[in-house]
Amino acid sequence: MPRPLVDLLWRDRPSSPAGGSRGPRARYSTGDVVARAIALADEGGLTAVTVRALAQSLEMTAMSVYTHVNSRDDLLVLMADHAYARMTPTLFGRAAWRTRVRRVADDNLALLRAHPWLLDVDDPRTALGPGTIAKYDHELRAFDGTSIDDIHRDAALTFVLDFVRSSASRIVARPGTREFGELWEESVASLAGYVGDDFALAQRVGRAAGEAMGGPHDAERAWEYGLDRVITGLGDAIGG
């Protein structure tokens, strides 16, 4: 009988029904299975994480994998929560809220650099997990000392994390990203000839930006600019 996902997420708590059972000890724990799935995802992305591949990696049967996780979708939730639980957040100390928000953003970008596959996990059920809840609690404290109420505190954090996720999708290396830089260099002269005098504004701004960035796009530069604007916008809403 499938175990409720919430029990699997909280399996390490002594009171969890998924924490253990009588009988011979299994060769691998659920935590071992999740950790191996993360290793596969880190190496080959989420497409590499199949029950069959995971079973082969652990030298066990697919049915044995299903004794630890109910489905691949549940496995992805467990993987995400495991990754969140093992984040090492930058301490806030006595820093002002703007600095704390920047640290939250930087920590999340670092997490997505380490585990790019998290960008492809968009399951609201991760909110049930202990790692996710602990991460949420810590990050909400970035707004301590401000006048923001609880509802707007949640919205402000979501605003920051949505920016991080969007930016990370450009910063984190994806297939073809680096190759496009070379293609741009090879094509820019011919492209200018095709465009001619049309789209003059796009050409002028694109030329200036390209010269400043050394290419058609600088994701790191966009990150710094965007994060500054995010924090400035929050300041207008929060004050201080």
pLDDT, tens only, 28-81? 899 999 999 999 999 999 999 999 999 999 999 999 999 999 999 999 999 999
Query: For 36-47, b where at least 16 C-beta lie within 10 A, e where not — what string?
Result: bbbebbeeeebe
pLDDT, tens only, 145-171? 999 999 999 999 999 999 999 999 988
Q: What percent of the chain has pLDDT over 90?
A: 68
According to the model, what pLDDT value does residue 49 have? 97
Amino acid at 5: L
Task: Single out the residue of 55, 34, 53, 56 nearest to residue 44, CA to CA.
Answer: 53
Given a cut of 60, is residue 214 above it in pLDDT? no
Given a cut of 90, is residue 211 above it in pLDDT? no
pLDDT band at 181 (very low <50, low <70, confident <90, very high): low
Given a cut of 80, is residue 180 above it in pLDDT? no
According to the model, what pLDDT value does residue 23 have? 44
pTM, whole model, 2 decimals? 0.84
According to the model, what pLDDT value does residue 22 have? 47
| Domains, the chain, ordered by start | 5-84 (1.10.10.60), 92-240 (1.10.357.10)
Question: What's the rounded Cα separation, in Å, for the pair 205 and 97?
Answer: 35
Mention every residue, 6+ apart, whose C-beta is less than 8 A from residue 32: 58
What's the rounded mean pLDDT across residues 8-26? 69
Take residue 161 and report the two structure tokens written for it. 């994390």
